[in-house]
């Protein structure tokens, strides 16, 4: 994603980064001004925060695996919000990653949780651009 971040530049903490995936966490800040209008009298965190957390977690994993260059989000294959995230909730987002043998496609399956249980299931699909996978003059892929 580019542009403004719903979670802010430092809003996501990396908890785990392993060959199969990564886990991050963030807190639904009670003083976030977006909660005032989402929804009046019943503030809940917008689902876009959960999608962004899944995307950023997948990208942190990809960077650690040396696959982050040229990574492009091409689809959100699934997004199911199971329950609301309330101000003050800590959300952890666990992402497992599968890499396709063909075309460098990457699928990230994310589960977002609070102490109350699952809040979202999200599946994102990425591809690596040709520039990122093209050989360098030295003959090694970037």
Q: Which residues are catalytic?
A: 38
Ramachandran angles phi, psi of 130, nearest 5°? -60, -35
Residue 135 neighbours by CB under 8 Å, 6+ apart: 141
Q: How far is CA 9 from CA 3, 12, 68, 119, in A?
A: 11, 8, 18, 23
For 13, the token pair is 């903490």
Percentages helix, strand, coil for the chain, rounded to the nearest 5?
A: 20, 40, 40
């Amino acid at each position: 994603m580019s542009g403004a971040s719903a979670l802010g530049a430092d809003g996501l903490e990396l908890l785990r980064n392993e060959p199969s995936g990564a886990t991050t966490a963030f807190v639904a800040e009670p003083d976030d001004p977006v909660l005032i209008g989402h929804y009046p009298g019943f503030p809940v965190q917008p689902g876009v925060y959960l999608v962004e957390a899944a995307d950023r977690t997948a990208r942190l994993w990809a960077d650690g695996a040396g696959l982050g260059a040229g990574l492009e989000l091409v689809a959100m294959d699934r997004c199911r919000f199971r329950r609301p995230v309330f101000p003050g909730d800590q959300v952890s987002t666990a992402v497992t990653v599968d890499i396709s043998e063909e075309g460098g496609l990457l699928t990230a399956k994310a589960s977002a949780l609070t102490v109350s249980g699952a809040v979202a299931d999200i599946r994102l699909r990425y591809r690596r651009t040709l520039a990122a996978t093209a050989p360098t003059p030295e003959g090694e892929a970037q």
